[in-house]
Amino acid sequence: MKYRNEKDVLGSVRLPADAYYGSETMRAYNNFQISGVKVGKELIYAYVIVKRAAASANMDIGKLDSRKGNAIIKACDSVLSGKLDESFVLDSFQAGAGTSTNMNVNEVIANKAIEILGGKKGDYRIVHPNDDVNMSQSTNDTMPTAMRIAIHKAINDSLLVEIDELIATIDKKSKEFKSIVKLGRTHLQDAVPILLGEEFSSYSYAAGSARSYIKEADEKLLMLPIGGTAVGTGMNAGNRYRKAVIKEIRKLTKENFSLIESPFGPMSNKIDELAVSASLRDCAVALNKFANDLRLLNSGPRGGIDEIKLPAVQPGSSIMPGKINPSMAEMMNMVCFQVIGNDLVVNEAANAGQLELNVYMPIIAFDILFSIRILSNGMKAFRERCVKGITADEKRIKQNLENDLSIATALTPHIGYAKAADIARKAFLQNKSVMQVCLEMKIMDRKKLQKILDPKNAVR
């Protein structure tokens, strides 16, 4: 392998001759071999959009000459096409603020622009990573801007799409099961009857509520602190640049991003990102409850509730022949646990910001984007391989319903709570139905009892 040497403030750095990244990326690569998980493409591409917008804005206001500026724009387009993905080599766990990621992006764009202008990689006299690509910027305003763009895009392009698909599928099941009367349960004990469709409607409600919280939190991300530079004062940028760059960002993203009036807030505080993370956690809690309930209702097939059947997707045991587990629901549980854990990390990182900057932006961006990715992919798999194929075991549902003791609740308006409780207790101890005990005690005539104790009347 051939190498080239680059100099920075700390001295000389040796790196592969054909690498588009430069000395700062190489140092960070050597320093942070931590997780093996690279900075995600979502964040890198959002960062490149910021760099492209900045180049256009700097040309518009006369700070950057058009030869360099147009080369930078072409280099950004090359990155966004996916041709230079392998040049983004840094671990997600890295130095604070995201300076390493910013410089990785700056160096790759600069070296590609140098190539476009006919030079050799590393000849920063042609296009400089800091002076030209990073003009009017710092990590401290571009990182939160790129984060917000990436998170907003991921929420709208995948997460909300999958939530909507899942809600539609649950609603379809709710309609399919709308006439099936089943035993209700509270405290994991028998309760008054409910329609299976009504039970499923509660899951749709929870997912819909989670969606509204995500959408509400996402709206805050449309306000960007670009142009705040190091601490929010706008030093080395200025209002002309800020107005020009936000115009370009809107053009490139086709989203209604706007300049936040005071960049100080989102640069030093991560309260908006924390709200997004919390809404993802809420979504995970709702989905986890849904998956848990499906596992309970599917439990058995002989020794459990067994009122619904989940699709069999794979063998469930390496030792017990024929055993089938609720694999897709278990997968959904694990996704939800991870998202809930990610929210705790975001909470701690947001809590640890100091003075003019929160330096833990890399881990905040990583965990939020990771949560969005696994929630989106998890919901899709869960919907397609589990929820769509759920069926009701009406025979089993009927058996459980016929043994329901809580139907005695329907007698309360007619004979009072104490007497109804006595009947339920006798039915339990004597292993009889409520109807049998009522007839034996001659509470009222059979016809009236049948009407009162009819589960269909109970759910009406």
Residues with catalytic roles: 317
Distance CA 73, CA 113 (A): 8
Distance CA 57, CA 45 (A): 18
Q: Which two tokens stand for residue 36?
A: 């093996």
Bridge partners of residue 189, in order along the sequence: 186
Cβ proximity of 154 and 42 under 8 Å: yes
Distance CA 131, CA 133 (A): 6
Whole-angstrom CA distances from 194 to 57, 276, 385, 390 are 61, 35, 26, 18
Bridge partners of residue 315, in order along the sequence: 324
- The phi and psi torsions of 322 (rounded to 5 degrees) equal 80, 0
Distance CA 61, CA 367 (A): 37
- What residue spans of 222-360 are helical by DSSP H? 239-253, 264-268, 271-298, 327-351
Q: Which two tokens stand for residue 183?
A: 């035993």
Distance CA 140, CA 269 (A): 12
Distance CA 183, CA 198 (A): 12
List all residues 6 or more positions away from 324 whose beta carbon is below 8 Å from its beta carbon.
312, 315, 316
Distance CA 30, CA 12 (A): 14
Distance CA 266, CA 51 (A): 19
- The phi and psi torsions of 357 (rounded to 5 degrees) equal -155, 140
Three-state SS annotation for 83-107 = CCHHHCCCECCCCHHHHHHHHHHHH
Number of residues assigned to the chain = 460
- The phi and psi torsions of 38 (rounded to 5 degrees) equal -75, 160
Vertex 101 angle, CA 30 and 247, to 5°: 165
The amino acid present at 147, given as its one-letter code, is: M
Bridge partners of residue 455, in order along the sequence: none
